[in-house]
Amino acid sequence: MQKAAPECERMAEDCHNFFAPPAIRFSRIPRDHVPDHVNDSTHMTDIPSRKPLEAPSLPADNPMRGFVPHQQLLSCIHCGLCTSSCPTYLETGNENDSPRGRIHLMRGVEEGRIELTATVRGHLDLCLDCRSCETACPSGVKYGQLIETFRVSDREKQTQAGKPAATWFEKLVLHELFPNRHRLERLLWPAWLMQQLGLDWLIEKTGLLRLLPLPLQRMQRMLPRLRKNEPNLPREIRHLGPVRRARVGLFLGCVSDAMFRHVHWATVRVLQHAGCDVLVPDRQQCCGAIEFHSGQRSAATERAKRNLSAFAEFQLDAILVNVAGCGAMLKEYSHLAPCEETDASLHARLQQFAGKVQDINEFLAGLNPGPLQPLPLRVVYQDACHLRHAQQIEREPRHLLRHIPELELLDIPEANICCGAAGSYNLQQPEMSDQLGERKIQWILSRGPEVIATANAGCALQLQALLKQRGLKIPVVHPVELLDASQRGLNREQFLRETG
Ligand code: SF4
Ligand code: SF4
Q: What is the pLDDT along the chain (500 residues), one digit of tens a residue?
A: 444 455 545 544 544 444 443 333 333 444 444 444 333 433 333 333 344 444 555 555 665 666 777 888 899 999 999 999 999 999 999 999 999 999 999 999 998 899 999 999 999 999 999 999 999 999 999 999 999 889 888 888 887 777 766 777 777 777 777 777 778 777 777 777 777 777 677 677 777 667 677 777 777 777 777 777 689 999 999 999 889 999 999 999 988 888 899 999 999 999 999 999 999 999 999 999 888 877 778 888 999 999 999 999 899 999 999 999 999 999 999 887 765 566 778 888 999 999 999 999 999 998 887 789 999 999 999 999 999 999 999 999 999 999 999 999 999 999 999 999 988 888 889 999 999 999 999 999 999 999 999 999 999 999 999 999 999 999 999 999 999 999 999 999 999 999 97
Least Cα distance to 486 among 394, 388, 379, 326 occurs for 379
Predicted local confidence at residue 171, as pLDDT: 75
Residue nearest to atom 4 of ligand 1 (CA): 82
Q: How far apart are CA 113 and CA 111, in angstroms?
A: 6
- List pocket residues of ligand 1, CB cut-off 6 Å: 76-82, 99-100, 103, 133, 136-137, 139, 141
Q: Which ligand sits nearest to residue 103's alpha carbon?
A: 1
Contact status, residue 453 vs residue 479, Cβ threshold 8 Å: yes
Question: What burial class does residue 282 get, using C-beta atoms within 10 Å of its C-beta: 0-12 exposed, 13-18 middle, 19+ buried?
Answer: exposed
Give pTM, 2 decimals. Answer: 0.83
Predicted local confidence at residue 444, as pLDDT: 98
Q: Which ligand sits nearest to residue 92's alpha carbon?
A: 2
Q: Is the dihedral of CA 379, 384, 385, 387 positive or negative?
A: negative
What residues contact 51, with CB distance under 8 A and at least 6 apart? Answer: none
Domains and CATH numbers, the chain: 6-160 (1.10.1060), 168-222 (no CATH), 236-365 (3.40.50), 378-499 (3.40.50)
Question: What burial class does residue 345 get, using C-beta atoms within 10 Å of its C-beta: 0-12 exposed, 13-18 middle, 19+ buried?
Answer: exposed
Closest-lying ligand 2 atom to the alpha carbon of residue 136: 7
R_g (Cα) of the chain, nearest Å: 23
Q: How far apart are CA 136 and CA 234, in angstroms?
A: 42
Q: How far apart are CA 360 and CA 391, in angstroms?
A: 12
Q: How far apart are CA 243 and CA 488, in angstroms?
A: 20
CA of 99 to the centre of ligand 2 (A): 6
Least Cα distance to 396 among 422, 419, 426, 367 occurs for 367
Contact status, residue 88 vs residue 122, Cβ threshold 8 Å: no
φ, ψ for residue 374 (rounded to 5)? Answer: -60, 140
Least Cα distance to 125 among 429, 411, 408, 336 occurs for 429
Residue nearest to atom 2 of ligand 2 (CA): 130
Q: How far apart are CA 224 and CA 188, in angstroms?
A: 11
φ, ψ for residue 265 (rounded to 5)? Answer: -65, -40
Q: How far apart are CA 40 and CA 434, in angstroms?
A: 25
274 ligand 2 Cβ < 6 A: no
